[in-house]
Structure 1
Amino acid sequence: MIRALVTLMIALALGACASHPAAITFHANENPESLADWGLFDVKDGHIAPRAGLVSYELATPLFSDYAQKWRAVFVPKGMSAHYDPVKTFDFPVGTIIAKTFYYATPVGTAPGTSEHVLKVTPAGYQPGDKGLDLSHARMIETRLLVKRADGWQALPYVWNAEQTEATLQRTGAEIPLVFDDAGKSTRFTYTVPNVNQCAGCHATDRTKTLMPIGPKARHLNRDFPGIGGDINQLTRLTKIGYLSGAPSPATAPRDARFTDLTASIDARARAYLDINCAHCHSATGPARVSGLWLDSPTIDMRKLGTCKPPIAAGTGTGNRVYSIVPGHPEQSIMAYRLESDNPGEMMPENGRSLTHAEGVALIKQWIAGLKGGCEAGA
């Protein structure tokens, strides 16, 4: 009798250990194998919904990732806040979790997670509202976490199962074959989930190779977005809920344009696109700083932006072109060539995509075509 009772107690204890937390749980040292152990979401009734404390946000212009849609969300420990910076990534406290879930829309009539066919949705943004993602016509691919620990940020990629019920840690990354459907045209491609070391290729943005988030900067977040408190400016929302301190009025904070906003100037739209897609490498502090090609929004020197600038180490990626940008001539510009290429040895960005972003390429070509001047005098 006693032995049976002890056995039952052990079984119950093990069962409790195996259960997932009912609230957001920060792991200061462990890297749980299951995404559910972080307690960020509830997956039920055909939805994946954020738990209390996980706040959705969106960028003015999102980074292109093979037309994947993205749900971005952040958790900051109670009683703590990130410190505002007008240029750099906000200084988040230890215990912060940034989650980015990549997913695609799927054809009507397919069960969640079963179709290899995914649909083009552009611009690729978050399904607005506080209820989370509707999974009835979606296929979740991965959720990437950036967690702020005592020794800095750490990146953890979690890949969702076919049933769309659970995501597990894949330290070595993953390759997922998909078929991209765009207006009747189907293209097979491989979606690549980066391994933990590859994350540094974009997120190690200084000489110390310290990982940093890319999106949570003032100029990317300074826009209205639906969520807690209604459709309001994101800097205002984050300040009101205590997640951000020291932010000025949105009217005086830096602001990148939406690259799809036809009411904005072509220059503002193109610069915003290059900033989010390229500047984590091509800036004064990024891994590509030695190239001398700096594409972040604060840079205003047209030579550093590539005008009449010959490449330093582009190899075959020049396409036999001489300058990064030739004003008025996108067909002669290395920048347009590399953005359009899907050749792994030539394309830019060199990580995070297999497909060409047609809308982004068209924008940059239009921008270059409108630039004035010539390279013979400017070189």
Structure 2
Amino acid sequence: MIRRAIFCAALASAVAAVASTGAPRIDTDAAIMDEGLPRSLSEFGFFADPAGQVPQARVTPYRLNTPLYSDGADKLRFVYLPEGAQMGAQGEGLLEIPVGTALIKTFAFGEGADRRLIETRVLLHRASGWLALPYLWNEEQTEARLAIAGARLDLTTPKGEALSYRVPNKNQCKECHGLDGEVVPIGPKARNLSGEWLAAVVEAGLVDRMPQDADQFPVWEHRESADLTAAARAYLDVNCAHCHRPGAMASNSGLDLRWEQQSPEALGVGKRPVAAGRGAGGHLYDIVPGSPDSSILVYRMASPEPGIAMPELGKATVDEEGLDIVRRWIEEMAP
């Protein structure tokens, strides 16, 4: 609840700044649109206080109802819009994001004075398409430098697990953000943004309208009081469907774990794997109704072992909370 209150205060402040000021002092538009690769995060001018992650004018924080699990990292998300630009909310899916926009996501571990910023990933919408760039924070927490080759860091998760944390290299970003050969955003879908946030940014002129009759993903902190199927399906959409969908990296698996998919077989129910190998763990079907322990989906989610673990990228530990939701969803399926 404290984080949510902080987020709401930051949103109110950012919206007020957008309404009362013009472009930031640094030429953010040029940094986004020029064909070069800025060597440091500060060249974009996204933050008034980089270490505190306090955004400049036209940089608006947002949070996802159901977030992607990344070894327990705290993630701070922001969107920069050039002056006069709007995002479109034509339905419940991905917002229509204009050229000149930047999506910004900072990964941090720890709380309060012990919080450490690890990396900031930016998605730049240039005239040539989307460009993904990773920036690694220095020990002094004063600057993040472009990490084209990625990096490895020894960290401890909030649950006390020792972790070799991987900052992806520039090309690895495409493995999750790739669709039909192009790099695309995957996070800011109208169905995964709160009505409160959407109403605030519509009023500020940053989004053109409120989505009509849109489904909403459950708020993850409130998952125990949410509909179990909705919580599990939202989790799979956010954590798995960027690869397991037509046109994406794992499309040849035949699984389509998007929220909008309604076919039980496409979701894995009674479906044999295409080529799981040892990743099947001796199980025959992706999902066996009523039997999570016989389901390949649960087996792979529950393993931290490379070559078995799913998702393959973006985490090295098991998300016990997400696993529990998916297990209970399968357990309650009628055989």
Q: CA separation in 1, counterparts of 2:235 and 2:247? A: 19
Partner of 1:139: 116
Gaps of 5+ in 1: 1-20, 107-134, 225-232, 374-379
- Is the 2:110–2:158 contact (alpha carbons within 8 Å) kept by the matching residues of 1? no
Aligned AA (1:263) = S
Are 2:137 and 1:160 aligned?
yes
Are 2:331 and 1:359 aligned?
no
Paired residue for 2:176, among 195, 202, 222?
202
Secondary structure class of the residue paired with 2:317: coil
Secondary structure class of the residue paired with 1:360: helix
Q: TM-score scaled by structure 2? A: 0.88
Secondary structure class of the residue paired with 1:190: strand
- Is the 1:170–1:195 contact (alpha carbons within 8 Å) kept by the matching residues of 2? yes
Paired residue for 1:62, among 50, 67, 70?
67
- Is the 1:89–1:212 contact (alpha carbons within 8 Å) kept by the matching residues of 2? no
Q: CA separation in 2, counterparts of 1:42 and 1:147? A: 19
Secondary structure class of the residue paired with 1:60: coil
Q: 1:369 to 1:281 in 2, by over 3 A?
A: same
Paired residue for 1:22, among 9, 20, 25?
25
Q: CA separation in 2, counterparts of 1:47 and 1:149? A: 27
Secondary structure class of the residue paired with 2:154: strand
- Give the Å deviation of 1:313: 1.5
Partner of 1:75: 80
- Is the 1:280–1:286 contact (alpha carbons within 8 Å) kept by the matching residues of 2? yes
Mapping of 1:193-342 within 5 angstroms? 193-205=167-179, 207=180, 209-221=181-193, 223-224=194-195, 233-249=196-212, 252-261=213-222, 262-342=224-304
Moved over 4 A (4+): none
Secondary structure class of the residue paired with 2:259: coil
Gaps of 5+ in 2: 1-23
- Give the Å deviation of 1:87: 4.7
Aligned AA (1:244) = V
Q: CA separation in 1, counterparts of 2:260 and 2:200? A: 25
Q: CA separation in 1, counterparts of 2:93 and 2:174? A: 17
* Aligned residue pair count: 308
- Give the Å deviation of 1:187: 2.4
Larger radius of gyration: 1
- Give the Å deviation of 1:91: 2.0
- Give the Å deviation of 1:181: 4.8
Secondary structure class of the residue paired with 1:197: coil
Q: CA separation in 2, counterparts of 1:23 and 1:236? A: 29
- Is the 2:190–2:211 contact (alpha carbons within 8 Å) kept by the matching residues of 1? no
Q: TM-score scaled by structure 1? A: 0.78
- Is the 2:73–2:157 contact (alpha carbons within 8 Å) kept by the matching residues of 1? no
- Is the 1:219–1:254 contact (alpha carbons within 8 Å) kept by the matching residues of 2? yes
Partner of 2:166: 192
What fraction of aligned residue pairs are identical, expressed as a percent?
40
- Give the Å deviation of 1:47: 2.5
Larger deviation: 261-270 or 63-72?
261-270
Aligned AA (1:349) = P
Q: CA separation in 2, counterparts of 1:97 and 1:369? A: 41
